[in-house]
Structure 1
């Protein structure tokens, strides 16, 4: 697995290891593999579209816009305030639909479906 080899390489070179980064990357890889059936390898590919869009969604500013969106959703819609990056949400929505359509069309199951 890429994560273990990457950590061991850095350990051998006596470099500092950001465990939070590796745990996050591992979690993202597991979710993308199980949920979407795709290998992201986020440690090796930090600029993969799944990684970039997940970061956008997970880096929510808990400021006034976020509070207004959840306490007063009608007002938030009126003001055009969104709690999450809608382009990132649309990316995952489109990705999900694309994968579902592809699987239905080709009657295909990934290894994580079995």
Structure 2
């Protein structure tokens, strides 16, 4: 049906691959870290240094940035419906933007 409506809709393939990539990143990076965080919290160590270290870990921020950027790329693909080259460029640009270090580490000030 997709081919009969949109013709050669390679953008849909790349959109689907983007959604699969979002799931993989979420499961591999976020899923593992959140499992450790839940385990520590169930052990009633809610104020442990290990928990604070896991919560402030950059891999969680990387995961959310990457998944958000890819999701926005998929939305772009669904809206614009570019040809093959545009679809490839869109996904790669989304991945590159998601990998950029946009988060500055929060350091509480000594002044209070």
TM range (shorter): 0.3 to 0.5
Q: Which TM-score applies when normalising by structure 2?
A: 0.33
Relative contact order: is structure 1 or structure 2 higher (C-alpha 8 Å, sep ≥ 6)?
2
Q: Which TM-score applies when normalising by structure 1?
A: 0.33
Name the one with the larger helix percent: 2
